[in-house]
Amino acid sequence: METSKVQSFKSPLVGEIFCCMANPTIKKMSFKSPLVGEIFCYQNEKIKILCFAKNSYNHQNFLKNMKIISWNVNGIRAVERKGAIQNLIEKYHPDLLFLQEIKGTPDKFSAYLNAPEGYEAFYNPAEKAGYAGTGVWIKNEIRKYVDSVQTGFEGDPTANEGRVSHVILEKNDKIFDIFGIYFPNGGKSSEAWDEKLIFYANFSKKMDALRDAGHFVLWGGDINCAHNEIDLSRPKENDGKIGFHPAERAWLDDRAANDWKDIWRVQNPTTEMYSWWDQKTKARERNIGWRIDAFWGESQIFAATKNIEYLTEHLGSDHCPILIEVEF
């Protein structure tokens, strides 16, 4: 049998491309690449393998849509040990990756987490060890559009818990404010509940002010609340409890009434979908869950949305990631 002749080369955008000619009588073959189009491979007596793309890659076209993923990792070092965050990057190549519940500080993170290949990592850890915290990874290709990375907002009563990561981007005279948030649970004490309501009120002021200034505003992450009965498996059993409390749901009602859109739900009004499952009861195996992770946006972002989906097959945490693509 003729031994296959294989050659590979690295592409900064699509990774390693392999070209193989198993039969010397085959002079030409081609395969499709979703990013660069059709790639042709030629073989002759002098050149074993020659590969080129039919369609040249246009970086500006690539950045026409911005791909954003949000994921509550429930411990960033844990998902790294499982290979789950590496797999997410390799499969989806997000432009922005927002992370919630990182549960650690950069001085305790690995070299990979502090300097992931192709990205710049920013973290907003909680002061309390092993608790809360958020972060965002920004792909190098869009770094030039980033004006700043910020944390918190005025009047945040949980500022020492690292719950907010905020990326501001500018392109073609448009300003994008993208937030990844780990909303307070509020169930530990009456004080924690009061802080949650204050968080809601002051966060709303911040979002409305940015929208009213003409910015493209997208906020999401772990909302820590199921909005309506369709958003959890057992609404009757959980009615009035934290996570499905009338006050929490009323706040989301208020956001919707003020022209903020739960983007996935608006596009999928009758579809059952969950993003969190109780690990102790192995609820994910039975799909007994809650949809408490979401992206909300104002009308400009909603109109610019090209795709939004829950990555329910991606494991590693008790939450699944959510992906959105918006015209940039």
Q: Where are the alpha helices (DSSP H) in 36-189?
A: 59-62, 76-81, 84-92, 111-114
Give domain limits for the chain.
Answer: 5-57, 60-327
| Residues 252 and 227: beta-carbon distance below 8 Å | yes
The model's pLDDT over 6-43, given as tens digits with 9 standing for 90+, comes to: 454 444 444 444 444 444 444 455 544 444 444 444 44
Residue 173: active-site member: no
The model carries a pTM of 0.82
The model's pLDDT over 78-135, given as tens digits with 9 standing for 90+, comes to: 999 999 999 999 999 999 999 999 999 999 999 999 999 999 999 999 999 999 999 9
Tell me the pLDDT of the chain averaged across its residues. Answer: 87
Q: Write down the CATH number for the domain with range 60-327.
A: 3.60.10.10
Q: What is the mean pLDDT of residues 143-167?
A: 97
Please count the other Cβ atoms lying within 10 Å of the Cβ belonging to residue 40: 14
Exactly one of 95, 177, 222, 318 is catalytic; name it: 222
Dist. CA 170–CA 242, nearest whole Å: 38
The model's pLDDT over 254-292, given as tens digits with 9 standing for 90+, comes to: 999 999 999 999 999 999 999 999 999 999 999 999 999
Please count the other Cβ atoms lying within 10 Å of the Cβ belonging to residue 93: 18
Dist. CA 180–CA 70, nearest whole Å: 7
* pLDDT at res. 197: 97
3-state secondary structure of 183: coil
More confident residue, 75 or 64: 75
